[in-house]
Amino acid sequence: MLFTILLHCLALFIIGITAQHLPITGAKSGINNNVPPYRRDIRELQKDNVAWSIYIQALITMQTEFQSNPLSWFQIAGIHGRPYMPYDDVPIAPGGWLYGYCMHSSALFATWHRPYLALFEQSLSHYAQKIAIMYPSVSRAPYVDAAQNLRMPYWDWASDPRMPDFLNTAQVIITTPTGVQNVNNPLASYKFQGLQMNTTMFPSSSGASRGDYFLAGAERTIRNPDVMGGLPNIQAANDKLANQRLKELTYLVLTSAPDWNTFATSGTRGISVEAIHNILHSVVGGQYGHFLALSYSAFDPIFWLHHTNVDRLAALYQAVHPDSWVVPTTESYGTFAVIPGSVSNENTSLSPFSTDVQGDLWTSRMSRPISVFGYSYPEIQYWNQTPQQLAASVSSSINYLYGPSNPSRKRASGSRRMQTTWNAATSVNKLAAGGGAFFVRFFLGAIPADAETWATDAANVGSFAVLATPMQFADQISISTTYFELSLSSALRERGIDGQDIGGTTKYLEDNLQWRIQLVNETVLDNVEAKDLSVSVHEITISLGRQNSELPNYSNNKMHLSITNGKLGGAVQC
């Protein structure tokens, strides 16, 4: 009997909805005179007991919904990676990879995730409103209102990198239709149901599934366990997150990326939101956690908080750069729907997300305005401002939330102040560690002898995280270089060097800047073993805005080869 049920579930998963497709609309309730509800910071949402109670119950319902339901947690999370099966009857492209639909190392990275998040939000809103009407009539109204205005929250790891405690507690206290209850926390983990045990969909053989085989038998998702199948080590992950300079990186990408493609993907030179996003996957997941493996990461509830923040940063960038958008680019990696080596543009279909019952698919052009999905963010009030006013307002928010706070960087009203900043730019072959995930860690000063302390040591001034590559498709990868950039200026100031003395700063960096490659399991990989590693240091002129509504300008980029020359992986020529 159980076998028959499993076969029935598997058949439903494969065929999806054959009569008609599921239109992805996002949440449409709560919109008043074209003013949509905000996606709120998870820390703020948690303080609102009514909205929080509705949110938690909606998550629980999604997670416990029958797994063949296209609005269930299992089905929606399964779009990203495993079980590598079609969603909503959207076919696999001939020549595509059997690796899920998710777009990475692509200019479509952020735009693909936008309708994906909208689908999740659509399901969340659907269940929230069903739950709200179950409250007693005398207390129902505020819960109905909260459900109508509920949007998926974001985790702003740039403002405060540590995971809030309530993301990892086993239980949370909420008010349900039957009263105050202590319930299992749906934000801490997702508990797999029967289909997860299917060894075809979730192989447990290392030969069949490469690096994620050990996750196949897990009962629930887990974050940063010390050993395979172990307990989560949240403290260790938080300590590492606190040393990643996420606020500084976020400000750098929002202010220095010259165009959308640079901002969006680690497949272009410079700092990108995808490269920063990779740090979170690597640290929160750890070697043995679900969040590290892109094949499993969307099952972890923190995925949705993390990617909502990535979408928020993308929306902030759009508001400041309204004329910059996707330009045609060659796809290095394949998906269910994308052939490696093909060229994507703003009209490329974002599979498997349908706009209507006929199965017409969303594109980056169509999903460019966040208004089409019925949400906004607190910093983005597009309905009552001109594009110029919105850009100024969002610029002020970026400066306030993520800008440097030290006195030497504060702007003088009415004039632009010129300063010198120092950045380290890095590129490396994604296959450098045999396809596994790794870090390029940067140090100023002596590198600790104990490599297990590198991530949290004061000498570590930043880390470049590279996620695992599906080795079964390695021979189909046309381009495997990934890029990163970090500012060294705040780390220099912490050491008493303001960076304005060019000669003195150059000499200090020549003597003290070092880097090493470290696997996620903290094993050290000699730089000489790394394929195509290149590190260069750049002196850049930064022009601070005349007022808070202006972002800095970056110019006069000069590479200092003497800083990296003679060091393994150091740039030796322009």
Structure tokens at 159: 């403002």
Six-digit token string for 535: 């590190």
**How far apart are alpha carbons 421 and 553 in whole angstroms?**
11
Helix (H) or strand (E) holding 73: helix 73-77
52 residue type, one letter = W
CATH of domain 2-190+220-235+271-280+287-384: 1.10.1280.10
**What angle is formed at CA 121 by the lines to CA 7 and CA 6, rounded to 5 degrees?**
5
- Which of helix, strand or coil describes residue 455? coil
Containing 539, the helix (H) or strand (E) segment is strand 534-543
pLDDT in tens, 122-177: 999 999 999 999 999 999 999 999 999 999 999 999 999 999 999 999 999 999 99
pLDDT score recorded for residue 98 = 76
d(CA 221, CA 297): 9
The Cα–Cα gap between 142 and 132 comes to 9
Distance of CA 337 to the CA centre of its chain: 21
CA distance 526 to 267: 24
Give the list of residues 6+ apart from residue 458 with CB closer than 8 angstroms, or none. Answer: none
| 164 cis-preceded (ω within 30 degrees of 0) | no
Please report, for the chain, the start and end positions of each structural domain, with discontinuous segments joined by +. Answer: 2-190+220-235+271-280+287-384, 411-564
**pLDDT lower than 70: segments of the chain:** 1-19, 195-198, 205-210, 406-416, 470-479, 573-574
Q: What is the DSSP string of 333-348?
A: S--SS--TT-EE-TTS
Q: Is 7 helix (H, G, I), strand (E, B) or coil?
A: helix
Q: How far is Cα 469 from Cα 432, in angstroms, rounded to an integer?
A: 10
SS3 percent helix, strand, coil of the chain, rounded to 5, is 35, 15, 45
DSSP annotation of 356: S
SS3 string, 258-299, reads: CCHHHHHCCCCCCCCHHHHHHHHHHHHHCCCCCCCCCCCHHH
How many other C-beta atoms can be found within 10 angstroms of the C-beta atom of residue 553?
Answer: 14
Residues 375-396: pLDDT tens digits? 999 999 999 999 999 999 999 9
Domain 411-564 -> CATH class: mainly beta
Q: Which residues contact 173 (CB under 8 A, 6 or more apart)?
A: 180, 181, 182, 183
What would the two tokens of residue 169 be?
A: 């507690």
Name the CA dihedral angle for 470, 471, 473, 478, rounded to a multiple of 10 degrees: 90
In Å, how far are 412, 446, 448, 535, 566 from 460, measured between CA atoms? 32, 10, 9, 16, 21
Q: Are strands 460-466 and 481-487 parallel, antiparallel or unpaired?
A: unpaired
CA–CA gap between residue 313 and residue 435 (Å, rounded): 29
- By the 8 A CB rule, do 476 and 334 touch? yes
The C-alpha atoms of residue 362 and residue 368 are separated, in whole angstroms, by 10
Predicted pLDDT at 413: 54
Structure tokens given for 524: 């050290």
Residue 448 DSSP class = P
Helix (H) or strand (E) holding 172: strand 171-176
Please state whether the peptide bond connecting residue 352 to the residue before it is cis, i.e. omega within 30 degrees of 0: yes
pLDDT of the residue at 522: 93
